[in-house]
Amino acid sequence: MESQDTKGKIVKESLPSEIISIVGDILAGIVLSLLIVPFESFLILILIVPALLSLRGNISGPYIARTSKDLIIGEFNRKSLIENILATYVLSIVTAFIIGVFSIVLNIFLIKIPIVSNIMLIEIPIITILITLSISIPCSTGLNYLAFKYGLNPNNVVNPIMTAIDDFFTVISFYLSLIMLGVP
């Protein structure tokens, strides 16, 4: 692989993945609206979703970049992969907890929906992000490897595709966590 990609190569590699990302995000939005509207606690739940999607992107993006960097410079090994996965999970759990705390504050001072317990507002983002990462990490690692193997720059291809996959699975994981916790 060249050390510097040409502009044309970057566009050629990135455009199909960006189209997949756009279509995937539209589908995720449609699924989200169909799944979450029936909940009585919709007002507080809908506030959690953007934070979860942002968290997913802010955590998965660096994971993908670190993994692709390791592949490109030839340092992809079991130790670096495990360290990367552990760092990603720790960052995700801490950030999901903070999302839960902010949800509690918003609920207490602004929305005032008493039907969702404070502990649930912390559990929902944590469970959601753990389920999402359990799907995202193997997928992005595999896509990084395949892109690299076929001579594509993983930095150009994998992140947009994983945005669509992760957003879709974040929505599904969010819904599953609501069901598992019995959120009204």
What is the rounded average pLDDT for all residues in the chain? 90
Cα separation, 99 vs 92, in Å, equals: 10
Domain total in the chain: 1
What is the full DSSP assignment across 100-140?
HHHHHHHIIIII--TTS-HHHHHHHHHHHHHHHHHHHHHHH
Q: Which two tokens stand for residue 9?
A: 């190569």
Residue 138 lies in a domain: yes
Among left, alpha and beta (phi > 0; psi -120 to 50; other), residue 153 is beta
CA nearest 60: which of 35, 95, 103? 95
Residues recorded for the chain: 184
Residues 22 and 163: their CA atoms lie apart, in Å, by: 9
Angle of the 42-73 helix axis to the 118-149 helix axis, nearest 10: 30
Q: Where are the alpha helices (DSSP H) in 37-117?
A: 42-73, 78-106
Residue 9 lies in a domain: no
Tell me how far CA of residue 57 lies from CA of 9, 131, 133, 161, 175, in angstroms: 24, 15, 11, 12, 18
The answer to whether residue 3 is domain-embedded is no
Neighbouring C-beta atoms of residue 92, cutoff 10 Å: 24
Could you tell me how far CA 80 lies from the centroid of its own chain?
21
7 in a structural domain: no
In a domain, 65, yes or no: yes
More confident residue, 101 or 3: 101
For 153, phi then psi, to 5°, come to -85, 115
In a domain, 150, yes or no: yes
For 176, other C-beta atoms within 10 Å of its C-beta total 16
Here the CATH number for the domain that contains residue 98 is: 1.10.357.20
Given this model, what pLDDT does residue 4 score? 59
Query: What are the φ and ψ backbone dihedral angles of 36, each rounded to 5 degrees?
Result: -95, -25
Q: Is residue 85 part of a domain?
A: yes
Quick: pLDDT tens for 142-182.
999 999 999 988 888 898 899 889 999 999 999 999 999 99
- Of the pLDDT bands very low, low, confident and very high (cuts 50, 70, 90), residue 5 is low
In a domain, 1, yes or no: no
Confidence of residue 2 (pLDDT cuts 50, 70, 90): very low
Structural domain including 93 reads: 15-33+40-181
pLDDT tens per residue across span 128-139: 999 999 999 999
